[in-house]
Amino acid sequence: MSVPAAEPHTGAHGAPAPAAAVEPRRWVPLALKGTAALLAGTAIGGAVLLKDSGPDPLLNYALLMTGAVAAGVGALWTVIGRHVLRAGTTLAAEARVIAHGTAGARIPVERYGDLAPVARAVNELADKLAGARRDIDRAVAESTAKAEQQKSRLAAILQELHEGVLVCNLKHQILLYNQTALDLLHLTGDLGLGRSLLHFVLPEPIHHTLERLTLRVREGRHIDHAHGTTAQFVGSTTDGRILLEGRMSVILQETDAAEGAPEITGPEITGPEITGYVITLSDATRELAALGQRDALLREATEGFRGPIANLQAALETLIDTPDLGPEDRRAFERAMMDSCTTLAERLEHVTSDYRSVMSGSWPMSDIHSNNLLNLVRHRVRDDAGYRVTLTGLPQWTHCDSFSAVVLVDHLIRRIHEISGVAEFDLSADHEGQWIYVDVTWSGAPVPSGTVDGWLDDPLADALGGLTVGDVLQHHKSTLWCEALKGREGCARLRVPLPPALSPPTAHQAAVRTTSRPEFFDFNLLHQPLATSELGRTPLDALHYVVFDTETTGLSPSQGDEIIQVAAVRLVNGRILTGETFNQLVNPGRKIPPESIPFHHITEDMVADQPTIDKVLPQFRSFVSGAVMVAHNAAFDLKFLKMKERAAGVRFDGPVLDTMLLSRMLQGDGGDHTLDGIAQRLGIEVVDRHTALGDSLVTAAIFLRMIDMLRERDIRTLDDAIRGANILVELAARERAF
């Protein structure tokens, strides 16, 4: 409510007159002076008048002064409330309006009396704001003109390139393209600026490549990466008629936070921002080129050898037929034979080099999940082989000739066993840099490098065409070596690098959850008694664990949501035993909400013929028997399991560790404690995320890293971990109680 006042003076065009034209009246100073005069007059007059009044003039005087003070304070408060507090509220409201007004927007100063200086300050700020807006508009106009000029220059340059080039924003809208791109896609007319590239090119490789580059930039790996901010991909037009080889380069814009900022290792990562990308496309004619190379190689290997061999044969026949040749003639024929032999050797070396190049460039390969690859190796090990292979580690996607790779790794393990007598091997796939390393690990000494090099000529019995170890490595442009394993005394490993997958299927799924599971702090589920037996005193790194996860129809078990998948992986002696897993779909007995399918990718058709939860839980309980259970946000999964215990006739009453609570113990409440957030901080590559088994594997890798960190905090045993988790749960319960 504004204070009544005279209408403000206006200028010639209706704008408010300058504030100095009318000097507003100051009511608060007048009220203070009036109150002071009133109290002084009352004090003097009362003293004179009541000097001889009644039996107790002092009491009468005190009462009079109390009333006078109360009246003065009340009057003063009325004036302050009307002329300061209410006017301040009105001034604040008008200031907010001024912030959205034009350059002529003003506050009438004469309306605000005692707050006139504040009103003038607001007007000054409004002038500066209007000036800043004008400067911004001018800068935007200049930048737009420069951008248009640069765009015109870039368009002229693009027209001269022999590759198809398209520039897109992050919404995949085409901002610029050249004629070659138009010809390559066999389109007539314009692609259409602003149209989506995904209307013309298959979207999955584009999405996948952009996701890879975004993750590379976000983690800062583009600085030292061999390909920087660029990645290659293979795609096709949407109609599938044209196979395309592409290269994507993201467009970076440095942010203020990244410029000169200190290195940040937490979940909040600042740095260059991706604003779009450039794609270069070419027709995939490598296969035809490889066929042409092979034809030329075949001609050289036949017709090219015919002349030198004929010369050599003629010289040799002459020497045989004419044994009485003179020394000079004989030396001439011998020189001719030597020249022919030299020519043959050179051509043979040239053909061999070309053969290796052609074979490495055109050998048929495909993307394959490392678990499938390594499982095939394990299945090749006979029962009477004298050794056993255990699959460990997180799965990866690789690009290889799976059959020859399986035969190769099986042969190498057998070779190591023959020379060392080792009976236990771990087999894993690790992603490091631009390679997927297939590692064969064992307890014992490394194989000498000379011995390993000697294996390159070993023929592989089951391989096609009599391939050798060296041939298979050449096809994959790879090598192999043996080394002592750092951090594990007395252990060694044999490493075989394989190329990473060109386009892993799981990366094509738009599987990133828009919402995450709520954090459950169920006191009854998470507050556990200490394991007072020997189990509780066992060091964390010596325990046997089962890491598990569930997928459900929704997030509310008490409102009818059901389990649709249960998965788990065993963790023993610091190793993720990927060969010992539990993975079972469950028929929930109800419809799966369509809105939940993008999160877990499980449809009703997939679970229609699957067993119900009362049949699955006894099998799962048997799998976890004797192990400490581990899960992320464990109360969520336990709630679903506990509600089905009676129907299944089982109990899950063993100790459970929650990686979400352990993360809070290690880092505090601040930060991102989701599975993705923790994995990102620890640098763990996430593969097959948002499946029950995939999440179990990621959780297992996170938990292994946490054991070392907990030890540094003097949390060494199972009881130590349970005690710390109980404290967090109690604190959470108390916070929610308030």
The domain segmentation of the chain, as residue ranges, is: 19-131, 161-284, 288-362, 366-506, 509-737
Q: Which residue has the tokens 């994995």?
A: 679
3-state secondary structure at position 15: coil
In 3-state terms the chain splits into helix, strand, coil percentages (rounded to 5) of 50, 20, 30
CA-based torsion, 182, 185, 189, 195: positive or negative: negative
How buried is residue 637: exposed, middle or buried, by Cβ count under 10 Å (0-12/13-18/19+)? buried
pLDDT of 730 reads: 77
Instruction: Pull the structure tokens for residue 190.
Output: 């314009």
Rounded CA gap, 659 and 633, in Å? 7
531: Cβ contacts below 8 Å, ≥ 6 apart: 655, 718, 719, 722
Answer yes or no: are the C-beta atoms of 606 and 585 closer than 8 Å. yes
Amino acid found at 182: L
Rounded CA gap, 663 and 672, in Å? 9
CA separation (Å) from 194 to 148, 164, 238, 670? Answer: 16, 17, 18, 41
The helix (run of H) or strand (run of E) holding residue 334 is helix 327-362
Rounded CA gap, 719 and 531, in Å? 6
Enter the pTM of the model: 0.52
DSSP annotation of 675 reads H
How buried is residue 139: exposed, middle or buried, by Cβ count under 10 Å (0-12/13-18/19+)? exposed
Rounded CA gap, 489 and 256, in Å? 46
Instruction: Pull the structure tokens for residue 279.
Output: 């794609």
Answer yes or no: are the C-beta atoms of 678 and 672 closer than 8 Å. yes
The helix (run of H) or strand (run of E) holding residue 495 is strand 491-498
CA angle 361, 365, 368 (to 5 degrees): 145
Residue 587 sits at φ, ψ, to 5 deg, of -80, 115
Mark the ranges of the chain whose per-residue pLDDT is less than 50.
1-21, 188, 257-269, 285, 288, 507-515, 523
pLDDT of 265 reads: 37
Rounded CA gap, 70 and 4, in Å? 26
Answer yes or no: are the C-beta atoms of 213 and 250 closer than 8 Å. yes
Q: Which CATH architecture has domain 161-284?
A: 2-Layer Sandwich (3.30)
Rounded CA gap, 419 and 421, in Å? 6
Half-sphere exposure of 412 (CA within 13 A, CB side): 32
- Helix boundaries (H) for 9-115: 27-49, 57-80, 86-99
Answer yes or no: are the C-beta atoms of 673 and 645 closer than 8 Å. no
487: Cβ contacts below 8 Å, ≥ 6 apart: none
CA-based torsion, 285, 291, 295, 298: positive or negative: positive
366-506: CATH topology is Heat Shock Protein 90 (3.30.565)
Rounded CA gap, 174 and 188, in Å? 16
Rounded CA gap, 470 and 467, in Å? 8
Q: Is 690 a catalytic residue?
A: yes
Answer yes or no: are the C-beta atoms of 380 and 411 closer than 8 Å. no
Q: Which residue has the tokens 């043996």?
A: 482
The helix (run of H) or strand (run of E) holding residue 248 is strand 243-253
3-state secondary structure at position 283: strand
Rounded CA gap, 125 and 492, in Å? 71
For every residue of 513-548, DSSP letters joined together read: -SS-PPPP--HHHH-----TTTTTTSBGGGS-EEEE
509-737: CATH topology is Nucleotidyltransferase; domain 5 (3.30.420)
Answer yes or no: are the C-beta atoms of 589 and 607 closer than 8 Å. no
Instruction: Pull the structure tokens for residue 653.
Output: 């009453």
pLDDT of 226 reads: 75
* Among 656, 655, 689, residue whose Cα is nearest residue 674: 689
Rounded CA gap, 646 and 656, in Å? 20
3-state secondary structure at position 94: helix
CA angle 148, 154, 155 (to 5 degrees): 90
Answer yes or no: are the C-beta atoms of 586 and 713 closer than 8 Å. no
Rounded CA gap, 455 and 479, in Å? 11
Answer yes or no: are the C-beta atoms of 286 and 280 closer than 8 Å. no
The CATH number, out of the four listed (1.20.58, 1.10.150, 2.60.40, 1.10.287), of the domain defined by the range 288-362: 1.10.287
Amino acid found at 366: S
Catalytic residue from among 172, 208, 476, 690 = 690
Burial string for 693-713 (b: 16+ CB within 10 Å, else e) reads bbbbbbbbbbbbbbbeebeee
pLDDT of 264 reads: 35
3-state secondary structure at position 417: helix
Q: Which residue has the tokens 């027209």?
A: 159
550: Cβ contacts below 8 Å, ≥ 6 apart: 563, 565, 566, 567, 637, 640, 641, 692
